[in-house]
Amino acid sequence: MPFEKVDTMEYVYAALMLHKLKKEINEANISSIVKASGAEANEAKVKALVASLADVNIEEAIKAAPVAVAAAPAAAGGAGEAKKEGKKEAETPSAKSEEQAMEGLSSLFG
């Protein structure tokens, strides 16, 4: 069966819940939350998620998500400054590693 986005959302939600509760994001905790929701935990998906989140600063990723969405309309409207600012941020070492981590996470979920 192919690895589908729809099938993985419960694992991402479990990781976000653990993060919010300041609990360790590990295989046992994610599996427990998924099972508590009434779903069957797929060990391979749980392991893949935990591995993909190992280098991701979840708090920074959450903060960056609304900024990316808000910047999209400005860039679409012809605002060249929004594009220039985005490039400057992406060029910093921490932004690049975060970007690489997010690409890895993205490739995991399609």
Question: pLDDT tens across 59-69, in order?
Answer: 988 888 776 55
Identify the pLDDT of residue 4. 41
Contact 65, 24 (CB under 8 A): no
Mean pLDDT of the chain, nearest integer: 74
* CA–CA distance, 31 with 44 (Å, rounded to integer): 11
pLDDT band with cut points at 50, 70 and 90 for residue 1: very low
Indicate if 46 and 62 belong to the same structural domain.
Answer: no
Give me the number of domains the chain comprises: 2
Whole-structure pTM value: 0.55
pLDDT band with cut points at 50, 70 and 90 for residue 103: low
48: nearest Cα among 6, 102, 8, 97: 8
Of residues 37 and 70, which shows the higher confidence score?
Answer: 37
Find tokens 């427990």 and name the residue: 32
| Domain's final residue, options 18, 34, 53 | 53
* CA–CA distance, 92 with 46 (Å, rounded to integer): 31
Indicate if 36 and 73 belong to the same structural domain.
Answer: no
Per the structure, the complete domain to which residue 93 belongs is given by 58-109
Indicate if 91 and 75 belong to the same structural domain.
Answer: yes
* Element at 1 (helix H, strand E): none
Q: Give the total residue count for the chain.
A: 110
